[in-house]
Amino acid sequence: MAALFRILVILVVAVLIGGLMYAGVGASDSSAGLGGFEDEEGRPQRPEGGDFRPEHDEGREGGGFGFPGSVIKALVLMSIAGGVYSAMAWAGKKSARKTSMP
């Protein structure tokens, strides 16, 4: 029962955040006149043929486990972010040690 309540809390928070974002995107689109595909009556539509992705996204639906370039990019970016944090934490500890020395 407690787990169900916790799941509910997580989902409610996610829905609140998602709702705010949805409202934000809707508001920015209506003010900038961006984005949607609309029919003659102004109802939103998907583009004909479903080809909504940018050009470089061709072949996404094909799959087949090609060269995982973005996986490597992701690992490199995460390593850099983690490395920067670790370096900052290490420098912070070092300076704290120096100031605590007599």
Partner 1 sequence: MSNTNRTKLFLDIALFAAFLITMDPHFSGLAIHEWLSLAAAATVIAHLLLSWSWIVEMTKRIFGKGLNGARINYILNWLLFIDGVLIMLSGIMISEAALPAMGITLPMNFAWRRLHDMSANLSLIIMGLHIAMHWNWIVTTFKRVFFGGGKQQSGAMAKQEA
According to CB under 8 A, which one of 12, 23, 82, 91 is a site residue for partner 1?
82
Q: Does 40 interact with partner 1 (rule: CB under 8 A)? A: no
Q: Which two tokens stand for residue 62?
A: 């094909």
Task: Say if residues 65 and 59 touch (Cβ distance below 8 Å).
Answer: no
Q: Does 102 interact with partner 1 (rule: CB under 8 A)? A: no
Could you tell me which residues come within 8 angstroms of residue 46 by beta carbon, excluding any fewer than 6 positions away?
A: 37, 52
Binding string to partner 1 for residues 42 to 81, with x set by CB under 8 A, is what? Answer: -xxxxx--x-xxx--x-xxxxxxxxxxxxx-xxx-xxxxx
Q: Is 45 helix (H, G, I), strand (E, B) or coil?
A: strand
Q: Is 13 helix (H, G, I), strand (E, B) or coil?
A: helix
Q: Does 90 interact with partner 1 (rule: CB under 8 A)? A: no
Partnered with residue 45 across adjacent β-strands are 37
Give the footprint of partner 1 on this chain (CB under 8 A). Answer: 3, 6-7, 10-11, 13-14, 17-18, 21-22, 25, 28-29, 34-37, 43-47, 50, 52-54, 57, 59-71, 73-75, 77-83, 85-86, 89
